Chains A and B, each alone.
Chain A
Amino acid sequence: MQFSENLRIGIKSILVHKLRSFLTTLGVIFGVAAVISMLSIGEGAKREAVEQIKLLGTNNIRVNQLKLTGEQAEEAEQKNSRGLTYRDGQLIRENLPSVKGVTPVRFVETEIMLGNKESNGRVVGTDETYQWVTNFHPSEGRFIGALDVAEAKRVCVIGSEIRSELFGYRNPVGRRIRIGDTWFVVIGVMEAKTVKEGKASVIKLRNINKDVYIPITTALKRYTDEDRPNAVEEIAIQVEKEDQVVPTSEVVKRLLNRTHNGVNDYEIIIPAELLAQSQKTQRVFNIVMGSIAAISLLVGGIGIMNIMLASVTERTKEIGTRRALGATERDILGQFLNETIMISVTGGTIGIILGVVMAKAINLFAGWETVISLFSVVISFGISALVGIVFGIYPARQAAKMDPIAALRFE
């Protein structure tokens, strides 16, 4: 018998018991919707983590100065460690010629003024490599150059939010702003970058759109910290390829261990490892959530099977009649299997729509990033069809194997 005939018969018998069919479908609808929304949360969290870590750069290693407790500070002093310094960065560059870039970062706590307007941005002393290492470039003007660093010039590049805060729509390039007690010429404006402070944050990111970049040498010279004259807060190291990250970090660790005389006053962060770590956690989360969703789908499937078994019994006489009129066992099997698959696939389709709506709602009300991937839609649809086949095959076989004579006599 043709498939289209089976389809027509299936639709008819589903429509005869509208409420029953709907209730049966409901199990699959919720199961699939759960799978879709759970996967979307997982996918969203994953993407958020990836985005954040990409902002740090997966080919990068970050060395951060640690805030020391009293005891640690004492130890550092005893062992004569001055914390992370500009010199450390230069040492890394000299000893590891294979690295692509080494960028020192120093934060300067001071006010940024334009006339009477004050901005709450952050002053960052760095060098010309910063834009490459962090993959963050100016949209107007230029970034700090090697000459600016060498001559400790009083130039600055401002973040996009500082620009709108202080200059509005005016062109800031070439104008002067006051940072602390010193006047600086604005030579460029950085591009705007989306920095998400989402729920799934792996690392606390500062809003780099509020940075003001000045040459590191200028920062060290003009805003000297008396206790730690050459101190930097961070050194960003970029390697050529991702697989060099770990070996390079090992070397950096040994190097710093020597210069810091064995004092652990710094930490080495490898974004790629953080990413792997977060993905591992995410995977566990996905498996747990996916399992819960799958169980609800299973329950839905059992519901379908239950109804189909009842339906087979109820339609015994119809089965007998169809057999008498020339239906083969396969025809009957196809008829009932087709009906189950139709119920579950319809449920799956509605479930996908509901799942997408739920994902949007979660995003809207809970603020969680959710991403519907094509994969999750395909897999949900596939699973719902599979549920139809798996839970439909038994009732359909029951129907097909029925003795036509007994079925005809059934009252």
Chain B
Amino acid sequence: MLVEVKELRREYVMGETVVKALRGVSLNVEKGEFLAIMGPSGSGKSTLMHLLGCLDRPSGGTYSLDGTPVEKLDDVELSRLRNRKVGFVFQAFNLIMQLTVVENVEVPLIYMGIERAQRRELCLEMLKAVGLGHRPNHRPNELSGGENQRVAIARALVTKPQIIFADEPTGNLDTKTGHEIMEILQGLNAKGTTVVLVTHEMNKAKWARRLIHMQDGKILRQLVGKEIQQLKDLFQEMPEA
């Protein structure tokens, strides 16, 4: 089992009130899965993703990623785990503007301690894989949104992570480009990479093989396979985030 989550809770103290963002979530993710997390704003889907992505530590419950108990790690260990086992794809791409495309892809390898020459080689290879092998020295602002997201995907993949978290990866893209990005993610999944997609778009969630519907910090229901395809009607009552 890649991800094992038991009774995960996350509370924030905001002034005098305690916000319960996650109220006990239990979830298992197997290697090679394509999982979608859906839910309205404030449902806790982002909090869950941040916890699963080792960006945050839970207030309660347990989480083990690839056998490592995450809740017990300190900053350095957590960062290392994030660096080696997790890849992120963000809605706003989050590329560093002053770096070139290839330099952006290199960032996680720098923190991994890979030598410069080897790093460059790995990154160029990865850029080729996402169809950007010809533009390594451009800056992010010289590329289109879809191209930027491909760079971000290359960056997420270059460390050969166990699991990719994609947080609304098509949110800033047009339909056609969004579709292309989803195809890339699906292709990755087909090759064995575990993909967790956080989205509130029905048509994107349909790419997944398992869907988790969250509400009020809890898992409301889980749908598998054909159930997801029939979702259109079921989710009509769900407000758009």
- For A315, the closest partner residue in chain B by CB is B96
User: Which single member of A2, A16, A326, A405 contacts B80 (CB below 8 Å)?
Assistant: A326
How many of chain B's residues have a CB under 8 angstroms from any CB in A?
26
**Those of B48-96 within 8 Å (CB) of chain A:** 50, 53, 55-56, 75-76, 79-80, 82-84, 88, 90, 94-96
Q: Is the CB of A326 within 8 A of B82?
A: yes
Stretch of B103-111, B187-195, B200-208 on the interface side = B103-111
Q: Is the CB of A5 within 8 A of B110?
A: yes
Known contacts A12-B99, A13-B98, A324-B53: does B111 contact A331 (CB below 8 Å)?
yes
Known contacts A323-B79, A325-B155, A326-B112: does B55 contact A405 (CB below 8 Å)?
yes
Query: Once the chains are docked, how many angstroms separate the CA of A13 from the CA of B98?
Result: 7
Q: Is the CB of B111 within 8 A of A1?
A: yes
Q: Which of chain A's residues have a CB closer than 8 A to the CB of B108?
A: 325-326
Question: Separation in Å of the B224 CB from the closest CB of chain A?
Answer: 29
Most chain B beta carbons < 10 A, residue from A2, A5, A324: A324
Q: Is the CB of B113 within 8 A of A2?
A: yes
Q: Which of chain B's residues have a CB closer than 8 A to the CB of A327?
A: 79, 111
- For A404, the closest partner residue in chain B by CB is B55
- For A331, the closest partner residue in chain B by CB is B111
Known contacts A12-B99, A13-B98, A317-B94: does B113 contact A325 (CB below 8 Å)?
no
Question: Separation in Å of the B48 CB from the closest CB of chain A?
Answer: 12
User: Which single member of B79, B90, B95, B98 contacts A326 (CB below 8 Å)?
Assistant: B79
- For B156, the closest partner residue in chain A by CB is A325
Question: Separation in Å of the B49 CB from the closest CB of chain A?
Answer: 10
Q: Which of chain A's residues have a CB closer than 8 A to the CB of B95?
A: 321
Q: Which of chain B's residues have a CB closer than 8 A to the CB of A206?
A: none
Known contacts A331-B111, A405-B55, A408-B90: does B83 contact A325 (CB below 8 Å)?
yes
Q: Is the CB of B79 within 8 A of A328?
A: yes
Known contacts A12-B99, A318-B96, A330-B76: does B88 contact A324 (CB below 8 Å)?
yes
User: A329 an interface residue at 8 Å Cβ cutoff?
Assistant: yes
In the complex, per-residue mask of B15-49: 1 if CB is within 8 Å of any chain A CB, else 0? 00000000000000000000000000000000000
Query: Once the chains are docked, how many angstroms separate the CA of A408 from the CA of B46?
Result: 12
Query: Once the chains are docked, how many angstroms separate the CA of A405 from the CA of B53?
Result: 11
**Those of B140-172 within 8 Å (CB) of chain A:** 155, 159
What are 20 residue pairs bridging A and B, where the CB atoms are less than 8 Å apart in the complex? A1-B111, A5-B110, A13-B98, A318-B96, A321-B94, A322-B107, A322-B111, A324-B55, A324-B82, A325-B111, A326-B80, A326-B108, A326-B111, A326-B159, A327-B111, A331-B111, A404-B55, A405-B56, A408-B90, A408-B94
